[in-house]
Amino acid sequence: MAFSFFSTGATSEVNFIPEIFSKLLQAKFYAASVLPEISNTDYEGSITAAGDKVVVRTVPAVTINDYAGSITTQDLTTAKVELLIDKAKYYSFLSDDVLAAQSDINLMEEAANDAAEGMRVSVETQVLADVVAGAGTTGSDTTITSSNILGEILGFAKTLDENNVPEEGRFLVLSPEFISILKQTELKQAYLTGDETSPLRNGKVGMVDRFTVYTSNMLSVASGYTKVLAGHKKGITFASQFTNTEEVRMESKFGTQVRGLKVFGSKVIVPDCLIAGSWT
């Protein structure tokens, strides 16, 4: 990585430490994204570059037998699932020395905020679409109203129950449109959510049945139908990493190029844990 230590003044955007910039950008990505809440991100520390392959071992299935005076011992075997870090996105911008000296805002901080939001939207849109495509259960096209939305959600819960999916850790991701419809139902009565206060406080939905409800603008839309997602986080593995953050002095201009590379990968590990609804 190429880091410059030249400065054009105390207020210049050149006076930043690349390592701190990278960590700040990563933190802002996670603060705004639903992906860490609905997926397993345990393998991120293993990533060093695009093209890496993370081997994920699944929990072995232990056989339960009837006891009749003697026992047989099972050899544990575990399946291996490969998570390929096969996607990468980058940002690159030029910070002009003269403009920075004249500016009354922190250009570097504002640029980092914009890069974090743009990266979040781009990565989340792609991963959510991939997860929907890999869901084990796909719902039929449904027109959602305040009269039937709770019934649809309870139907998701029933499917997960039938698949023996654990109750703790279930999630539901809806677009803002359906969050609005949800808030128009009898859900406004706090006892339906298990909370002490109504879910209409501060725009936060909270719990519905055994689902933690999240909202996202990045759910895919096809033929006018939004692909909402319900399931359990053990069904999805997601890993990402900012592998490069560089500052390079430009040769033809008095300015600094700042660029960063984020690599990521996702995989549906247990399709039976996921339901993709198709709502309009």
Q: Who has greater pLDDT, 68 or 101?
A: 68
Cα angle: 53, vertex 244, 92; to 5 degrees: 125
Q: How confident is the model at residue 170 (pLDDT cuts 50, 70, 90)?
A: very high
The pLDDT, as a whole number, for residue 25 is: 58
Q: How confident is the model at residue 164 (pLDDT cuts 50, 70, 90)?
A: very high
Taking the alpha carbons of 224, 34, 210, 234 in that order, is the dihedral positive or negative? positive
Q: What CATH fold (topology level) applies to the domain 18-279? A: phage-related protein like fold (3.90.1690)
Can you give the residue ranges of every domain in the chain?
Answer: 18-279
Q: Who has greater pLDDT, 19 or 234?
A: 234
In this prediction, what percent of the chain has a pLDDT beyond 90? Answer: 34
User: Pairing between strand 274-279 and 137-142?
Assistant: parallel
> What phi and psi values does residue 190 have, to the nearest 5 degrees?
-60, -30
Q: How confident is the model at residue 14 (pLDDT cuts 50, 70, 90)?
A: low
Q: Are 95 and 108 in contact (CB under 8 A)?
A: yes
